[in-house]
């Protein structure tokens, strides 16, 4: 179906994506992976939680690692412009017959908890504890030197429905993949903060989190991380890349932790601030869609993802097949 027109006057104002809670089975292992290897900064830790931020971020956290019996995703978080936007968001989700609750979260003000129609757990807030700037404390830069959280990508059993719902909230499509045989959307990239995407949806069994992504300074940081991973016992955690996407033009690397959570290391996409910018359309069979250099993604990239806590998953009825590496 056609991509819906952008909603430039949404019911409440989302600034950007903010944070994710990852349920992990071994906090010590996950700490080593995210802090010692990738270079995220610890802002708080206790026996059951570790809070992390990237180097440019002033908010208290962008990742929460929570001790659990099995790996899953607790919630995806988004920042809104004001407290009034939180109240408008509550009314809007209620008008869609979706669950809402005000919940307590450490280091945050009022938090609205809800779910999208697919069951993805979402939370919205206006205020998070602010921390001193560390982006010029170069002695702290380690690993891949992550600057900020950039986006979430989710498997959706109905990408057109996901695009419509998030579009109603004000997310704008920047690029998308169409299946020409069915005239359905196979994947879409949607933004609020002026990059290529804050959220993306990929056709598949879902809803599941496909990956979260961090922006890094240059492609050379990704090369450095690959050298580090290959010589410190993490070589098997490398899944795909390095490469350059056709979609988004970004230089990328995908890695997976021991609980199956996938992280993309990402840089070099482009600005999308203009409200009249038209989405870029890609054919599902275009070999440069996945990787500008025509390198296909492995089968795991299309099949494996992280389940959301308390969310049932559904099979997609769109059976279109992308190009898969042998």
Q: Mark whether 24 and 104 lie in a shared domain.
A: yes
Q: Mark whether 158 and 296 lie in a shared domain.
A: yes
Kind and range of the H or E run holding 178: strand 172-179
**Helix, strand, coil abundance in the chain, percent, nearest 5:** 20, 35, 45
Q: Mark whether 248 and 202 lie in a shared domain.
A: yes
How far apart CA 260 and CA 24 sit, in angstroms, is: 9
On whether the CB atoms of residues 292 and 246 are closer than 8 A, the answer is yes
Residue in this structure with the two tokens 């016992």, named with its chain if needed: 233
Classify residue 317: in a domain, yes or no. Answer: no
Classify residue 9: in a domain, yes or no. Answer: no
Q: Mark whether 110 and 152 lie in a shared domain.
A: no
List of E strands, 217-274: 238-244, 251-256, 262-267
- 14-24, strands of its sheet edge to edge: 41-45, 49-53, 63-67, 14-24, 72-80, 121-125, 111-115, 100-103
Q: Which pTM was predicted?
A: 0.97
Classify residue 94: in a domain, yes or no. Answer: yes
On whether the CB atoms of residues 222 and 251 are closer than 8 A, the answer is yes
Classify residue 133: in a domain, yes or no. Answer: no
Q: Mark whether 239 and 299 lie in a shared domain.
A: yes
Classify residue 28: in a domain, yes or no. Answer: yes
The one-character DSSP state at 107 is T
pLDDT tens series, the chain, 326 aa = 789 999 999 999 999 999 999 999 999 999 999 999 999 999 999 999 999 999 999 999 999 999 999 999 999 999 999 999 999 999 999 999 999 999 999 999 999 999 999 999 999 999 999 999 999 999 999 999 999 999 999 999 999 999 999 999 999 999 999 998 898 999 999 999 999 999 999 999 999 999 999 999 999 999 999 999 999 999 999 999 999 999 999 999 999 999 999 999 999 999 999 999 999 999 999 999 999 999 999 999 999 999 999 999 999 999 988 889 98
Q: Mark whether 168 and 270 lie in a shared domain.
A: yes
Classify residue 6: in a domain, yes or no. Answer: no
* φ, ψ of residue 287 in degrees (nearest 5): -65, -15
Q: Given this model, what pLDDT does residue 2 score?
A: 85
Q: Given this model, what pLDDT does residue 321 score?
A: 83
Q: Mark whether 199 and 264 lie in a shared domain.
A: yes
Q: Mark whether 156 and 302 lie in a shared domain.
A: yes
Q: Whole domain around residue 63: which residue ranges?
A: 14-128
Domain count, the chain: 2
User: DSSP states of 35-62 as a string?
Assistant: IIIT-PEEEEE-SSEEEEE-TT--BS-S
């Amino acid at each position: 179906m056609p991509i819906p027109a952008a909603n430039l006057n949404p019911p409440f104002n989302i600034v950007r994506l903010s944070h994710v809670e990852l349920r992990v089975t071994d906090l010590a292992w996950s700490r080593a992976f995210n802090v010692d290897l990738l270079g995220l900064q610890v802002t708080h830790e206790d026996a059951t939680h570790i809070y992390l931020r990237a180097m440019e971020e002033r908010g208290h956290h962008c990742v929460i690692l929570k001790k659990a019996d099995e790996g899953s995703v607790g919630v995806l978080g988004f920042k809104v412009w004001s407290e009034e936007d939180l109240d408008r968001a509550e009314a809007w989700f209620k008008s869609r017959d979706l669950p809402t609750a005000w919940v307590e979260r450490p280091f945050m003000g009022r938090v609205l908890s809800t779910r999208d129609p697919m069951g993805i757990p979402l939370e919205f807030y206006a205020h998070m504890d602010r921390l001193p700037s560390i982006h010029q404390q170069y002695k702290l830069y380690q690993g891949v030197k992550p600057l900020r959280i950039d986006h979430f990508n989710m498997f959706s059993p109905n990408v057109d429905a996901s695009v419509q719902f998030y579009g109603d909230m004000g997310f704008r499509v920047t690029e998308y993949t169409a299946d020409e045989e069915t005239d359905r959307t196979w994947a879409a990239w949607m933004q609020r903060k002026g990059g290529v995407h804050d959220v993306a949806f990929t056709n598949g069994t879902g809803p599941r989190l496909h990956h979260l992504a961090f922006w890094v300074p240059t492609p050379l940081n990704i090369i450095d991380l690959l050298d580090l991973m290959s010589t410190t016992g993490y070589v098997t955690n490398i899944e795909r890349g390095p490469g350059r996407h056709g979609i988004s033009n970004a230089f990328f690397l995908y890695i997976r932790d021991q609980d199956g959570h996938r992280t993309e290391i990402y840089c070099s996409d482009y600005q999308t601030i203009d409200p009249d910018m038209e989405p870029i359309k890609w054919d599902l069979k275009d070999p440069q869609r996945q990787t500008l250099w025509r390198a296909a993604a492995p089968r795991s990239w299309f099949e494996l993802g992280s389940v959301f806590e308390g969310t049932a998953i559904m099979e997609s009825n769109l059976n279109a097949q992308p190009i898969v590496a042998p």
